[in-house]
Amino acid sequence: MTDSGPSPEAPTPSADTTPPAGTTPEDARPTRPRRRRGWSIAIVAVIVALVVGGLLGWGVGRLGATRAASSSGSSGNGNTCNAITVANEVLPAIVTVSAAGESGAGTGTGEFIRKDGYIVTNNHVISTAVPGGAISVLLSSGAHFPAQLVGRDPRSDLAVLKIDDGSSLPVVPWGKSSDLVVGQPVVALGAPLGLSGTVTSGIVSALGRTVPVPSDNGHNAILANAIQTDASINPGNSGGALVTCEGSLIGINTAIATVPNASGVSGGGSVGIGFAIPSDFAQAIVAQLIDTGQVTYPSFGISVAPIPPAAAEDLKVPGGLYVQSVVAGGPSAQAGIQAGDVITEVNGHAATSVDILTQTVMTTKAGEKVPVTYLREGQTHTTTVTLQTPAS
């Protein structure tokens, strides 16, 4: 790929959609879930004790959808937002997104971020409509509009839509996710299970999570430095807003953790662990999609493949990323990395999955230096790779 234990007490990986903790995509790459009509959110089956090091596994729930309206509120106190006030201010800017194409149909959530009709949602909400399908949005007023796909980025699981309403539309203002603290109250808004206009509240339960979720062509998207929240989100909340008590957009709700059933199959709804793409990252991606219709990330200039445990044993090397090829004159070549090397660490993190490269390029700007440790003929070497934007 180009850099591009079961017990009832803890969530465990799904047998049909989740690689066991500690495995790599090479020997346990999740299969892409089949498309079905209905709600959409990435579902992550996790072992809670391992979440700090990165979450493995996922599934996408798509069921039949009906339209209804629901909201919940709580009076403000030290640990909660005044959800009634937040709902009144933010719900007018929340939309229900429906997408349909040859591969199936799905429903999710989005929010207006510009008064002229630009909407942010998840790529996996609208991917069934690409190419040649139809996307529409339901406004809080009850009006339906066809939506144009402005651009999408499967790597970050973000997409931008646009409608032509002809009026100045309500928006959710961007907030700064870098200002969030663990324990801070937040509110999630969206259309879980097809129920438009739903509001739930909770707190930021953790920060800085790295969560692989399903993307196009059997690859993973990476929620880098994701916000973890206990605000209840369910299938259909994907692409919806996670906001502060002041109504500022600080996250795009994207994935939930679920507890597998007795057969080891993941599914169901919220168990109080949800993940949102942080607004500081999302805002930069959205700006590129609006300006150019695509996103450009810096590159290592290498192609790698995870080494399965059996192969690592035969080669007498620990697990790592086998360097298949190196772009001549590219960042890795300039740093001295060669085809046949085995990368064991990237930026201080164990290189057990290609996701570590994806996470790094998503959170690093061109020109920044990344320390890399690798093996060559049994000897350990360290170098620094200066990431570059690939030549067009």
Residue 236 gets which letter from DSSP? T
Quickly count: other Cβ atoms within 10 Å of residue 15's Cβ.
Answer: 14
DSSP category for residue 80: B
Q: For tokens 């879930």, name the residue.
A: 33
| Rounded Cα gap, residues 228 and 46, in angstroms | 13
124 has catalytic annotation:
yes
Q: Is 238 a catalytic residue?
A: yes
Query: What tokens were used for 112?
Result: 């207006």
Q: Assess whether 280 carries a catalytic annotation.
A: no
CA neighbours closer than 13 Å in the CB half-sphere of residue 147? 33
Determine which one of 3, 153, 157, 355 is catalytic: 157
Cβ contacts of 196 within 8 Å, gap of 6 or more: 67, 68, 69, 96, 138, 140
Any idea how long the chain is? 392
- Residue 298 host element (H or E): none
CA distance 262 to 216: 29
Which of 14, 177, 238, 332 is labelled catalytic? Answer: 238
Of these residues, 124, 196, 279, 299, which one is catalytic?
Answer: 124
Cα torsion 212, 218, 219, 222 to 10°: value is: -30
Active site residues: 124, 157, 238
